[in-house]
């Protein structure tokens, strides 16, 4: 699977095109304030974009999601609890098909209740659940440090070579493997909830 990354808007948002090379089917992960770069790339590469997926409902990730979906004739997908209107509910374990490849949704609440990650077997698109060097904030409406801790533990069950693709360019690098992220991210590496809270508080959240 090919990953195309776009850094768009004023809040250092990352959006992604995930492409099955054989079928040229693709999905978009999030859509913030701009659609033209993604639409242009999809058309230039002759992609059939089947899904526009929201990792969570915050506007910097979804403001133009429906516009993008309409331009690309894609279906909008989000967690069933998402307040944004969507065509497809993506509960924990639900699968989206791109050619012969499956992209699985993981419910990862903590930043918001409707937060999901997407995993294609090698790449994990984490939205604001897991960022490079830290996890997402839990002090917004719907946030929960308890849920975030459990979500991070579920992410750690994935293969150590999984490549982490976050929703923002906040870290020292735009992406890295799960095993490397665990070495460098004290919130992800926390061995207990108390240890997690200490590391999380050090981030000011």
Q: Give the CATH number for residue 101.
A: 3.60.15.10
Domain that holds residue 50: 2-202
| Ranges in the chain, pLDDT < 50 | none
**Rounded Cα distance, 114 and 91, in Å:** 9
Residue 32's pLDDT is: 82
Chain Cα centroid distance, residue 129: 7
Q: Which two tokens stand for residue 156?
A: 């750690």
Burial 108-132 (b: 16+ CB within 10 A, else e): bbbbbbbbbbbbbeebbbbbbbbbb
Distances in whole angstroms, Cα of residue 33 to Cα of each of 47, 62, 93, 115, 143: 22, 8, 29, 19, 23
Residue 76's pLDDT is: 98
Residue 10's pLDDT is: 77
Residue 74's pLDDT is: 98
User: What is the pTM (predicted TM-score) of this model?
Assistant: 0.96
Structurally, the chain folds into a number of domains equal to 1
Residue 205's pLDDT is: 62
């Amino acid at each position: 699977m090919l990953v195309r990354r776009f850094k768009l808007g004023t809040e250092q948002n990352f959006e992604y095109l995930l492409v099955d090379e054989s079928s040229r089917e693709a999905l978009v992960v999030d859509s913030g304030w701009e659609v033209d770069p993604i639409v242009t790339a999809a058309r230039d590469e002759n992609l059939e974009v089947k899904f526009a997926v929201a990792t969570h409902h915050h506007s910097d990730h979804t403001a133009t999601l429906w516009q993008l979906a309409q331009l690309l004739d894609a279906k909008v997908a989000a967690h069933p609890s998402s307040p944004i209107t969507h065509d497809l509910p993506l509960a924990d374990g639900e699968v989206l098909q791109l050619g012969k490849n499956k992209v699985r949704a993981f419910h990862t609440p903590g930043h918001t209740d409707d937060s999901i990650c997407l995993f294609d077997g090698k790449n994990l698109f984490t939205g604001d659940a897991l960022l490079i060097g830290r996890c997402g904030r839990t002090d917004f409406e719907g946030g929960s440090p308890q849920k975030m801790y459990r979500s991070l533990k579920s992410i750690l069950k994935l293969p150590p070579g999984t490549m982490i693709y976050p929703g923002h360019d906040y870290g020292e690098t735009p992406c890295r493997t799960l095993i490397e992220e665990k070495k460098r991210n004290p919130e992800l590496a926390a061995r207990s909830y108390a240890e997690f809270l200490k590391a999380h508080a050090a981030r000011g959240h």
